[in-house]
């Protein structure tokens, strides 16, 4: 009898799985997704490149004037991040003194080609 009632219940109940793509799993705030760097905030200090465990960040020449703690200073370099190497640990975000580099929650996938890099695009 219990089998019959369970069968009927299963026949008319909604599946427990998410009906992708009509319905998507929400990505929480603070999710460590694709990395990006705000060009107008980066002071080119290279800290992100030094702490990156995967050596995904290299510093490239990019002279520019930026505001930092109420002062205007001349930046010499900015990070270039190889997405394929990024392990999304968040250490660059944690150690950035200028709050320029962030892991965004919008897009969870990383680079799909070996040489795809992201520079200052936030």
Partner 1 sequence: MTRIVVPIGPQHPALKEPVNFRVVTDGERIVDLELNLSYSHRGIEKAAEQRDFIRVLPLIERVCGICSHSHATVFSKGIEEIMGVEIPPRAQYIRTIIAELERMHSHMLWLGVAAHEVGFNTLFMWTWRDREAVLDTLEELSGNRVHYNMNEIGGVRLDLSPSQVEAALARMPVLEERIRAYVGMVEDEETMLTRFRGVGSLSREEALSFGAVGPTARASGVDYDVRKDDPYLVYDEIPWNVVTDTNGDVYGRTKVRIGEIAESLGIVRHCLENLPGGPIRAEAPKAAPPGEILSRYEAPRGEVAHFIRTNGTARVERVDIRTPTLANWTSVAHCLIGRPLADVPVIVAAIDPCLSCTSRITLVKSGGDLGKDAPPPNGPRGWSR
The residues that touch partner 1, with contacts defined as CB under 8 A, are 16, 28, 30-32, 51-54, 87-91, 94-95, 103
By the 10 Å C-beta count (0-12 exposed, 13-18 middle, 19+ buried), 17 is classed as exposed
**Least Cβ distance, residue 39 to partner 1 (angstroms):** 24
String of b and e for 19-54 (b: at least 16 CB within 10 Å)?
Answer: eeeeeeeeeeeeebbbbbbbbebbbbbebbbeebee
User: How many residues would you count in the chain?
Assistant: 122
We find the least distance from the C-beta atom of residue 97 to partner 1, in angstroms, to be: 15
Least separation, in Å, of the C-beta of 5 and partner 1? 16
In the complex, what is the shortest distance from the CB of residue 4 to partner 1, in angstroms, rounded to a whole number?
17
Give 60 or 87: the residue with its C-beta nearer to partner 1. Answer: 87
Residue nearer to partner 1 on the CB measure, 56 or 66: 56
C-beta of 19 vs 71, nearer to partner 1: 19
């Amino acid at each position: 009898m219990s089998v019959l009632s369970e069968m009927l219940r299963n026949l008319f109940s909604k599946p427990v799985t998410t009906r992708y793509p009509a319905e998507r799993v929400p990505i929480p705030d603070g999710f460590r997704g694709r990395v990006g760097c705000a060009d107008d905030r980066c002071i080119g200090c290279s800290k992100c490149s030094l702490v990156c465990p995967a050596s995904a960040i290299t510093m490239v020449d990019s002279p520019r004037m930026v505001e930092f703690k109420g002062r205007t200073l001349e930046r010499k370099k900015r990070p270039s991040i190889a997405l394929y190497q990024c392990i999304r640990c968040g250490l660059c975000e944690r150690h950035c003194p200028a709050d320029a580099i962030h892991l965004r929650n919008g897009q969870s996938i990383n680079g799909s080609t070996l040489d795809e890099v992201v520079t200052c695009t936030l």
